[in-house]
Amino acid sequence: MSTTSMSIEEEIRTAAGSVPDPEIRKTMAQLGMIDEVELREGGNAIIRYHLTSPLCPSPFAISIGKEIRRRVELVEGVTRATVEIRDHFIAKDIAAKVNEVEIAKDAPPWL
């Protein structure tokens, strides 16, 4: 792995880790909840994380995951971020919501 991709991976980890847990009010990095960061060919980033409880309410889990994705996609060199939650009882459902493609930032409410 090149030095450039290592520095991008560090930026990805920093961006993902900066997301606060809405209940605990500490960042994902402070809580040690970013498990893995991987940068694949073409700028595709994979971020794997866990929460403090496998029963964390899905609105919180989805909100945290979407914010991780949003912040990581702002990192220069990242073309797409895929966020995976671990050890949650509905991990697949949460990942589907977090990683769905958005039509537009200001989509009409009826879509």
Band of the pLDDT at 26, cuts 50, 70, 90? very high
Where do the domains of the chain lie, and which CATH numbers do they carry? 3-99 (3.30.300.130)
* Average pLDDT of the chain, as a whole number: 88
Give the tens place of pLDDT for each residue, 57-87.
999 999 999 999 999 999 999 999 999 999 9
Q: Of the candidates 49, 24, 57, which has an alpha carbon nearest to the alpha carbon of residue 99?
A: 49
Which pTM was predicted? Answer: 0.85
* 18-26 contacts at long range (C-beta below 8 A, 24 or more positions apart): 18/71, 19/64, 19/67, 19/68, 19/71, 21/51, 21/52, 21/60, 21/64, 22/60, 22/63, 22/64, 23/60, 24/52
